[in-house]
Amino acid sequence: MAQYLVLIYENESGYDNPDPSVWQQAMEAHNRFAEQVGELGGQILGGNALQPTATATSIRGDVVTDGPFTETKEALGGFYLIEAKDLDHALQISRLCPAPFGGVEVRPVMEFPEQG
């Protein structure tokens, strides 16, 4: 099994002052996603939601600034680290990841040969 990072990019404004039902629907969708990963033979190894981009601090060289690197319509809002048989399996799983205000990006985790 290989590891893949499922990056969740969404328009943050979808979560600005949401009705409590929006949060409830989001939590239910992510709980269902976790169930579906197992049903498809994959595994979630970790993951989390991120605070909004307004809380980001960027570092480039010796320069530290408030905010994200770039202004974009969709921002990285969270991620899952999953284990899947191969890229096709990871894509099958990732298609189910809730991102109602955007989409997801799937990236394989780099494997390094063991030094010994």
Q: Which of 76, 69, 70, 29 is nearest to 52 (CA)?
A: 76
Cα(4)–Cα(107) distance, rounded to whole angstroms?
Answer: 5
Q: Which of 88, 103, 97 is nearest to 37 (CA)?
A: 97
| pTM for the full predicted model | 0.87
Contact 13, 111 (CB under 8 A): no
pLDDT at 84: 98
User: Tens digit of pLDDT for each residue in 40-92?
Assistant: 999 999 999 999 888 888 888 988 888 776 667 788 999 999 999 999 999 99
Overall size of the chain counted in residues: 116
Contact 106, 94 (CB under 8 A): yes
Q: Which of 103, 105, 1, 102 is nearest to 44 (CA)?
A: 1
